[in-house]
Amino acid sequence: MKIVILSRNSKLYSTKRLVEAGTNRGHEMQVIDHLKCDIIIEKRKHQIFYKGESLKNIDAIIPRIGASVTFYGTAVVRQFEMMKVFSAVESQALIRSRDKLRSLQILSKAGLGLPKTAFTNYSKDVSSVIDHVGGAPCIIKLLEGTQGVGVVLAETRTAAESVLEAFHGLKARAIVQEFLSEAGGADIRAFVVDGVVVGAMKRQGKPGEFRSNLHRGGTAVKVELSEQEENAALKAAKALSLGVAGVDMIQTSTGPKIMEVNSSPGLEGIEKATGVDIASKIIRYIERQAE
């Protein structure tokens, strides 16, 4: 098969591993910068041009779309779908997962455990918003944030009110969530491919850091999920219609609570922590679906 990876940087670990895994299984792999694609729309004819050439005879794509370019990236994915090309992550699923508020609403409807969350339309009564999640300390997240950027732990009510007022003053939409202190700066990422958890790791934030993101200096070790955690990860990926997903959760005394579901999860941390060839599992998923 001819498989295209939509990635802005062919040197990234995840992109290189997918190229390697696909090549090892006999596929023709190509990396394309989705921001350099031109979408041509006309009656019953759908085309994508890349560097002046029309893209044809492609069997499948693997979107690696950054959060900052979600709008154009998903437009390119959608155009490929209209051309009857299989996508490892569907365009609508990608959009749903990138919208933090919408994804939480979908996960809530599916009956999954979540941290209590409040969202208002720039309410001036920030104190009552904070009360809705149990007061301080609490977490305040920008809806457009990624990799831990735009996430603030407000340890006091005064700090929480100040941060929320500042975000509102900038017309930056944010959600307020209860702070789950029992997490201890750690969370679990379960990597789901085609309805199966293929690897899981526990991420621990560096001392004094409540965020466990590896990009922020966190560490990761392989972990075996409980049945409850595995079921929550699979249910979350299914609720958002994601064939490939990184499901982040915190284990609490009342069971796992989903923090986020990532539609373009990185491979480096999970592969190094677990020793599992996740990239090849993604390629096999594409083989099953595209053929």
Q: What is the pLDDT of residues 182-191, one digit of tens each?
A: 777 789 999 9
Residues 218 and 234 in one domain: yes
Assigned domain for 12 exists: yes
| Residue % of the chain over a pLDDT of 90 | 73
Assigned domain for 164 exists: yes
- Find the range with the poorest average confidence among 38-47, 186-195, 208-217: 208-217
Residues 170 and 196 in one domain: no
Residues 206 and 224 in one domain: yes
Residues 199 and 256 in one domain: yes
Name the residue range of residue 35's domain.
Answer: 2-89
Residues 127 and 197 in one domain: no
Q: Residue 100 has what pLDDT?
A: 87
- State the DSSP code for 83: T
Residues 160 and 190 in one domain: no
Q: How many domains does the chain have?
A: 3
Helix ranges (DSSP H) in 25-150: 70-82, 91-98, 100-109, 126-132
CATH number at residue 228: 3.30.470.20
Task: Indicate the residue among 150, 179, 208 that finishes a domain.
Answer: 179
Q: Residue 214 has what pLDDT?
A: 55
Under the banding of pLDDT at 50, 70 and 90, the label for residue 150 is confident
For the segment 234-260, the average pLDDT, to the nearest whole number, is 94
Residues 11 and 51 in one domain: yes
For the segment 39-59, the average pLDDT, to the nearest whole number, is 93
Residues 38 and 64 in one domain: yes
- State the DSSP code for 225: P
CATH number at residue 169: 3.30.1490.20
Assigned domain for 129 exists: yes
Burial of residue 8 (number of CB atoms within 10 Å: 0-12, 13-18, 19+): middle
Chain-centre distance for alpha carbon 109: 19
Under the banding of pLDDT at 50, 70 and 90, the label for residue 151 is confident
Under the banding of pLDDT at 50, 70 and 90, the label for residue 215 is low
Residues 84 and 6 in one domain: yes
Q: Residue 184 has what pLDDT?
A: 76
Residues 137 and 157 in one domain: yes
C-alpha dist (Å) from residue 243 to 12, 94, 192, 235, 279: 21, 10, 7, 12, 13
At residue 61, does pLDDT exceed 90?
yes
Where is 86: in which H helix or E strand? strand 86-87
Q: Residue 206 has what pLDDT?
A: 66
Q: What is the pLDDT of residues 71-125, one digit of tens each?
A: 999 999 999 999 999 999 999 999 999 988 999 999 999 999 999 999 988 778 8
SS (H, E, C) 18-44: HHHHHHHCCCEEEEECHHHEEEEEECC
Which bin fits 198, alpha (ψ -120 to 50), beta or left (φ > 0)?
Answer: alpha
More confident of the two residues 254 and 30: 30
